[in-house]
Structure 1
Amino acid sequence: MKKLIPSYIRVPLIFAVVMAGMEYFIDSGDKPAFIEYPMVALFLGVFLFLLIAIEIVVSAVDKVTYHLLTDEQKKQLEEAQSMSFADSKFMKMLTRSKDIDQEDDVMLDHDYDGIKELDNVLPPWWVGLFYACVVFAIIYLIRFHVMGDYTQAEEFVAEMEQSDKQVQEYLKNAPDLMDKDKVTLLTDAPAIAEGKKIFESNCVACHRPDAGGAIGPNLTDKFWILGGGIKNVFNTISEGGRSGKGMVPWKESLKPTEIQKVASYVLSLQGSNPKDGKPAEGDEWVEEGAAPSTEATTEVVETVVDSTKTE
């Protein structure tokens, strides 16, 4: 049987709509849902298979049904299928147009050099849209120009304030937007454990499993080449070490939250003093606001001279 949309268009279209709907309703983060959740991919595969199977079955049923029709029924079916959408009842209802053999009913009397004019009515959809615009204009006039409701400038300011609030809420729950200025030291055990895993996967080749230093410097002492503290360590891991002879930038491989965790883990190793640790490199780092280290005071012995003593 004739269908408005061919099967080679209908099947991909239905499949795309279902797939888009699943991507919209399933929260899969940065990855597509069919990659993050294998069951979604399985469902889509089964759904596509069923769509193709249904099309094959329907096509087979149409062919069998057509061969069961009489010659007269086949002729009626072919006439019905040959009718275009423009000649359909739905299209005539939308346009209220007249067929060519009915043009005499709307033909005007005047004639311009053999050119005659038809007095066709306006399409109902156009007339309805026009009246809807008139009603909208009246309501708009009364609301904004008579009643004095909010202006466009006030609406813009309100929307911008709402957008700023949404951005701030998003930033609160989007730690991967973290940078050197916003990073904080993590001390909870789960974060330190995750940082340790990242360190063991990426850093032990240069710093040893105990962070005592190999090609790279010792990370357990108080001396740092590019500065200590969470902000400097985070920035060094993210941007890399000294040009030409330092660590490569890890920002292309690790997320900001992962860099924060591994930096926090490194700082948790301070003072662990691993065996055969590499000698200190760089300058001693003292956190701002930290009390200076106390040094042993040298005892000053004053010599008292007795001016009354005679030798």
Structure 2
Amino acid sequence: MKKYSLAIVLVLFVFCVPLVFTEIANSYKEPFNILDNPLPSLVLTVFSLVLITLAWVLVMALKKVELLQNEKDGVTPEVASSSFMTWWRQLMQKWTKSKSMEQESEIVLDHNYDGIRELDNTLPPWWVYMFYASILFAIVYLVRFEVFDGDTPEMEYKKAVAEARASLEKYKETATDLIDASTVTLLTDEKDLKRGKAVFNLNCAACHLADGGGSIGPNLTDEYWILGGGIKNVYTTISEGGRDGKGMISWKNTLKPQDMAKVASYVLSLQGTTPATAKKAEGDLWKEE
């Protein structure tokens, strides 16, 4: 059962590694730039080492199971001198320089404290190489950030924020759902005005009449405006509503931003027209700057 459990864990790990690494790499603009973004490369290296270790553990486990089964059955298997396990042992010996228990007498020191002896083990080559690699990394880091004035994390953050804001502003220029009073523009396309007229007749004509002459609401065809004329002011009035207590309601929770922009443009297209029953002018005379 343990054999199958280990195999299942290994298979899941193999499938999860690409997904995790892809997610991490996608969060960086240049994921394989080791100087600026060392994390993806570090994660890939660690995952690779873990994968190799798991594979080795699996091979050792299967080999152990096989040996136990042969011992139980009384079978003495022939060991090939050039087998994978022999190569692996030689590799591990080369990278660890470890001594077997039978060879410990060769490296035992004279130190003796209550029968406790000390072994003069050499540093494992893998540890020595990692130590040298850390020194090399420190030198590269020093040159990168102290000599050539590389971007600090704070500078990288500010640049990333500036790029994000620029991308957001560019997106807002084309995203109709993000129209607001500061970005709305006057629409003159016949299709947009036709849509604005339909929305106006459905929601606004009850108070302003279909021709904009005004009833409960003010006349929309003259040059006088209570809350200011122009596309931005008209859009704001539609979105936020009129005067407190006696103005029209806010439509921002009912109409989409693009529809409010089209209604505002249609309302301004009524300027200068002659309604059937024009209501008396209200507000102040508006002139575009």
Shorter-chain TM range is: 0.5 to 0.7
1:151-166 → structure 2 map (5 Å cutoff): 156=155, 164=162
SS of match in other structure, 1:247: coil
* Counterpart code for 2:130: L
Distance 2:132 2:268 in 1: 72
Distance 1:4 1:129 in 2: 29
Distance 1:121 1:206 in 2: 93
| 1:192-221 deviation line (CA, Å, top 9, x unaligned) | 344335435544454444444454334333
Shift of 1:236: 0.9
* 1:235 and 2:236 correspond: yes
| 1:15-66 deviation line (CA, Å, top 9, x unaligned) | xx59x98xx8xxxxxxxxxxxxxxxxxxxxxxxxxxxxxxxxxxxxxxxxxx
Distance 1:152 1:10 in 2: 38
Provide closer, same or farther for how the CA distance between residues 253 and 97 of structure 1 changes in structure 2, counting only shifts above 3 A.
farther
SS of match in other structure, 2:222: coil
Provide closer, same or farther for how the CA distance between residues 266 and 130 of structure 1 changes in structure 2, counting only shifts above 3 A.
farther
* Counterpart code for 1:138: I
Shift of 1:243: 1.2
Shift of 1:235: 1.5
Q: Is the 8 A contact 2:145 2:151 kept in 1?
A: no
Tell me which residue corresponds to 2:269. Answer: 268
* Counterpart code for 1:219: L
Q: Is the 8 A contact 1:223 1:282 kept in 2?
A: yes
Q: Is the 8 A contact 1:103 1:118 kept in 2?
A: no
| 1:250-272 deviation line (CA, Å, top 9, x unaligned) | 33455544433321121112233
Tell me which residue corresponds to 2:4. Answer: 2
Distance 2:141 2:170 in 1: 39
* Counterpart code for 1:2: Y
* Counterpart code for 1:192: L
Distance 2:191 2:132 in 1: 65
Tell me which residue corresponds to 1:280. Answer: 280
Tell me which residue corresponds to 1:132. Answer: 133
Q: Is the 8 A contact 1:144 1:150 kept in 2?
A: yes
Tell me which residue corresponds to 2:51. Answer: none
Shift of 1:115: 4.0
* Counterpart code for 1:167: R
Provide closer, same or farther for how the CA distance between residues 185 and 126 of structure 1 changes in structure 2, counting only shifts above 3 A.
farther
1:88-107 → structure 2 map (5 Å cutoff): 96=96, 102-103=100-101, 105-106=103-104
Provide closer, same or farther for how the CA distance between residues 118 and 188 of structure 1 changes in structure 2, counting only shifts above 3 A.
farther
Provide closer, same or farther for how the CA distance between residues 257 and 121 of structure 1 changes in structure 2, counting only shifts above 3 A.
farther
1:34-49 → structure 2 map (5 Å cutoff): none
| 1:98-142 deviation line (CA, Å, top 9, x unaligned) | 79xx54545744343344556666566654432222122334445
1:288-303 → structure 2 map (5 Å cutoff): 288-289=288-289
SS of match in other structure, 2:4: coil
Tell me which residue corresponds to 1:112. Answer: 113
| 1:63-119 deviation line (CA, Å, top 9, x unaligned) | xxxxxxxxx98x849x9xxxxxxxxx89x96995979xx545457443433445566
Q: Is the 8 A contact 2:230 2:288 kept in 1?
A: no
Tell me which residue corresponds to 1:149. Answer: 148
Tell me which residue corresponds to 1:174. Answer: 172
Tell me which residue corresponds to 2:193. Answer: 192
Structure number, greater radius of gyration: 1
Q: Is the 8 A contact 1:211 1:219 kept in 2?
A: yes
Provide closer, same or farther for how the CA distance between residues 143 and 224 of structure 1 changes in structure 2, counting only shifts above 3 A.
closer
Tell me which residue corresponds to 1:220. Answer: 221
Residues paired across the two proteins, number: 218
SS of match in other structure, 1:174: helix
Shift of 1:171: 1.3
Distance 2:205 2:168 in 1: 35
SS of match in other structure, 1:2: helix
Distance 1:201 1:93 in 2: 81
Shift of 1:283: 1.9
Q: Give the TM-score, by structure 2 length.
A: 0.52
Q: Is the 8 A contact 2:225 2:286 kept in 1?
A: no
Q: Is the 8 A contact 1:221 1:273 kept in 2?
A: no
Q: Is the 8 A contact 2:224 2:286 kept in 1?
A: no
Distance 1:247 1:124 in 2: 81
Distance 1:227 1:129 in 2: 71
Q: Is the 8 A contact 1:220 1:270 kept in 2?
A: yes
Tell me which residue corresponds to 2:245. Answer: 244
Gaps of 5+ in 2: 27-64, 73-87
